[in-house]
Amino acid sequence: MHHEAYACVVHSDAAITAARLSVVENGDLGRWADQVSPEIADSWLRCVDNGHQGNRLDKQLSFVGDIPGAPLTRVARAVVTQWSATAGPIPASILAIDAHAVVRCRHDGTSAVAAILDTWPVAEGFSITEREFGTSAGTLALSLGRPALVSGPEHFHPDLVGLHESAAPVIDDAGAVIGAIVLVSDQPVAEFAAAVTRTLAAQVGADLIAGPSTALSATSARLAARVHGTGTFAIGAAGDHTIFDPRANALDGSDSAVLTEAVRAALVDCRFEPTSLTLPSGSPVEVEYESVEVAGDVVGCVLVGTWTKSPASQYSSAMARQGAHVAPVGPRDYTAGMPLVGAAGGELGRSRNKALLTPMTSTRSELALSIGEHSNRLLTGEKGVGKRTLAVAEFKAQHPDGVIHPVDCSVLDTGRGDSRWGDTQPLASVVHSSSTASELVLLSSLNSLDAMGARQVDAVLRSLATRATSPLVIGCVDATTVDRTRPYAMLSRHFHGVTRIPSLRYRPDDIADLCRSILKTISPRHSLRLSLSVIRVLEGYSWPGNIDELVDVLGYVVAHKPFGEITVRDLPATYFRSAPRKLTPLEVAQCETIIHALYEVNGNRYKAAALLGIGRSSLYRKIDSFGISYIG
């Protein structure tokens, strides 16, 4: 049998050490060039370019996330476990790494090597790229596409000179390198170790190639064997394939997407507990999962759904719009349970009225309290209401020197199920941040995550929670409620409460300050002033696009009038010269509360403001906005 040449030539340890020191100090091998193989030398030079100084590994490796049900993880673990049971214990650890040098499984044959690897740790879900870990056999096998040896002083970092490695790449059916099998020992590796890694890598590659067809056949057979009742359907998942029975094929597109995510998530997580779902169409369904095994290995999953009793017709449309969070109730009474102050109301009534009339005040207080207590918070609200801006402002108010790690979940590239996040993934740098300042991890657009992305974010948040000083985490959902049927719902356990950010149409008191702030940002060199009439018009607009729409409107104004006072004529006619809008239920409640207060104090606006617990200017703006006539 022909064996490929190894990417290493054996030389004396002293000569190799001298060559490495020359690279560290001078940037080249000098007179030791013939003592090190070209592959090792190139790796050392890349380490220098990446900022390594050839000193000790003084920080932990980046935790990327463990994916237990990913194909490479699943197959490699099965192959290594079976081989170890046959061969018996060996004085080494065997790793499977994916194409991005993330450890996907580790099998320890001796506690001595395991203890060394646990130092950084070289463990499942952690990255051992050349940029982080320096020269290693695994990264060489990935880059060269052939077996590699790295022994003792050939490692770039002195901490690793006690290790000896042999690695062989895992090749897929297209000839691409999709991972590697690495044997790590504290003793010099022999030809036996090289043969082991070649054999295991070849077996993993063969099983991965054969796996999809075998898994698909087994899952299809299980799906076909199901005896379905009148109100049941079935969906199967195997690898990248999804199979539908005739009833499942007839499902609504959005319902089908939710169920497909559910069965694929169950397969990847290897969790097959029954559950209840309310689909986007509003239909409730009981779901059971059946694992599909081949030779003791889980290769697929079948979801069996059973329709439950449909909700009453008068509630079905609401359920379809809002999912599982709609209860069968009538129109909301915003004024119920909120008496005015007086003999019966007291301070409680004042607080309730203030919360009704100025909802953003209580929202800010709630978020500020959560930040002060270092309690993770989930912010909900329509897109563009300023969730991120508010979180940053409140965090900076309490921690001026704090560090903020913004993460836009809508652009995270979670890639293939068995691959790590790329080096640009913002969460990768957060896990082992060495900052001593207070930290905020700000996750925006959580609702855009698919099942795989949600699981990866979940893994990172679990890792963050284990740190001695864990960062504060604030998540943002571009919806007014948390939809438990969406993948991001699995992250709820990381948050201690939910705060809803009111839409801009409910925050007229904020309009003037927001406009001034936006104008300073988009037109810092222009001298623009807002007339009172413009502020009143803007306060009376419904702002369906929230703050983003306000930015667009002011951008239009700046483009057409770079200086001077902004008047109503400067606003885009499409927005602000139409018929008055209809008040929302919340605004009706606010209007009625103000009218009642004015009647109670015989029209005295000063006393009415005190009665309601709000500022006089806020009361005056609302009176003008609602068109309340003189009372008294």
**Residues 349-364: what's their mean pLDDT?**
68
Q: Which residues have CB under 8 Å from 210's CB, separation 6+?
A: none
The alpha carbon of 121 is separated from its chain's Cα centroid by a whole number of angstroms, namely 23
Instruction: Tell me the per-residue pLDDT of 63-112, one tens digit each, with 9 for 90 and over.
Output: 776 665 567 887 888 788 888 877 878 889 999 999 989 999 899 888 88
Q: Which residues have CB under 8 Å from 264's CB, separation 6+?
A: 237, 242, 301, 451
Tokens read off for 67: 């994916």
**Residues 420-428: what's their mean pLDDT?**
51
At residue 624, what are phi and psi to the nearest 5 degrees?
A: -65, -40
Instruction: Tell me the per-residue pLDDT of 150-170, one tens digit each, with 9 for 90 and over.
Output: 999 999 988 899 999 999 999
pLDDT (0 to 100) of residue 552: 85
For the cut 70, the answer to whether the pLDDT of residue 424 exceeds it is no
pLDDT (0 to 100) of residue 139: 95
Supply the mean pLDDT for the chain.
79
For the cut 80, the answer to whether the pLDDT of residue 582 exceeds it is no
Q: How deeply is 64 buried, as exposed, middle or buried, from its count of CB atoms within 10 A (0-12, 13-18, 19+)?
A: buried
pLDDT (0 to 100) of residue 380: 92
Q: Which residues have CB under 8 Å from 466's CB, separation 6+?
A: none
SS3 405: strand
Q: How many CB atoms lie within 10 A of CB 401?
A: 9
Residue percentage of the chain with pLDDT more than 90: 20
Q: Helical H runs in 51-118?
A: 71-87, 111-117
pLDDT (0 to 100) of residue 460: 87
For the cut 70, the answer to whether the pLDDT of residue 326 exceeds it is no
For the cut 70, the answer to whether the pLDDT of residue 252 exceeds it is yes
Pair 379, 390: CB distance under 8 Å: yes
Residue percentage of the chain with pLDDT more than 70: 81
Q: How many CB atoms lie within 10 A of CB 340?
A: 20
Q: Which residues have CB under 8 Å from 479's CB, separation 6+?
A: 380, 381, 382, 447
Most confident of 37-41, 239-243, 276-280, 624-628: 37-41
**For the stretch 522-535, what's the b/e string if a residue is b when 16 or more beta carbons lie within 10 angstroms of its beta carbon?**
ebeeeebebeeebb
pLDDT (0 to 100) of residue 452: 84
Torsion, Cα of 167, 93, 132, 77 (10° steps):
80
Give residue 471's identity as a one-letter amino acid code: P
Tokens read off for 515: 């406009």
Tell me which of 35-44, 370-379, 398-407, 570-579 is least confident: 570-579
Confidence of residue 7 (pLDDT cuts 50, 70, 90): very low
Q: Which residues have CB under 8 Å from 490's CB, separation 6+?
A: 454, 455, 458
pLDDT (0 to 100) of residue 94: 95
Does residue 295 come out as left (phi exceeding 0), alpha (psi in the -120 to 50 range) or beta? left
Q: Which residues have CB under 8 Å from 191's CB, separation 6+?
A: none
Cα distances (angstroms) measured from residue 156 to each of 41, 97, 162, 166, 577? 10, 20, 12, 16, 70
pLDDT (0 to 100) of residue 361: 79
How far, in Å, CA of 563 to CA of 570, rounded?
A: 11
Instruction: Tell me the per-residue pLDDT of 473-524, one tens digit each, with 9 for 90 and over.
Output: 999 999 888 888 888 988 988 999 899 998 888 888 888 888 888 888 887 7
Q: Which long-range contacts (CB under 8 A, 24 or more apart) does 352-357 make?
A: 353/593, 353/597, 353/611, 353/612, 353/613, 353/614, 354/612, 354/613, 354/614, 356/589, 356/590, 356/593, 357/590, 357/593, 357/594, 357/612, 357/613, 357/614, 357/618, 357/622
Q: Which residues have CB under 8 Å from 584's CB, separation 6+?
A: 505, 506, 542
How far, in Å, CA of 15 to CA of 10, rounded?
A: 11
For the cut 50, the answer to whether the pLDDT of residue 341 exceeds it is no
Confidence of residue 174 (pLDDT cuts 50, 70, 90): confident
SS3 343: coil
Tell me which of 191-200, 242-251, 466-475, 582-591 is least confident: 582-591
Nearest partner of 435 among 410, 385, 472, judged by Cα: 472
Tell me which of 89-103, 250-264, 583-597 is least confident: 583-597
Pair 170, 204: CB distance under 8 Å: yes
pLDDT (0 to 100) of residue 323: 35
pLDDT (0 to 100) of residue 68: 54
- Domains of the chain: residue spans and CATH: 13-210 (3.30.450.40), 226-307 (3.30.450.220), 374-502 (3.40.50.300), 505-576 (1.10.8.60)
For the cut 80, the answer to whether the pLDDT of residue 194 exceeds it is yes
Confidence of residue 342 (pLDDT cuts 50, 70, 90): very low
Residue scoring higher pLDDT (24 or 561): 24
Q: Which residues have CB under 8 Å from 369's CB, separation 6+?
A: none
Taking the complete model, does pTM exceed 0.75, yes or no?
A: no
At residue 544, what are phi and psi to the nearest 5 degrees?
A: -60, -25
Pair 600, 611: CB distance under 8 Å: yes
Torsion, Cα of 361, 363, 368, 373 (10° steps):
140
Does residue 420 come out as left (phi exceeding 0), alpha (psi in the -120 to 50 range) or beta? beta
For the cut 80, the answer to whether the pLDDT of residue 587 exceeds it is no
Give residue 303's identity as a one-letter amino acid code: L
Instruction: Tell me the per-residue pLDDT of 266-321, one tens digit each, with 9 for 90 and over.
Output: 887 778 888 888 887 878 899 999 999 877 778 889 999 998 864 333 333 333 33
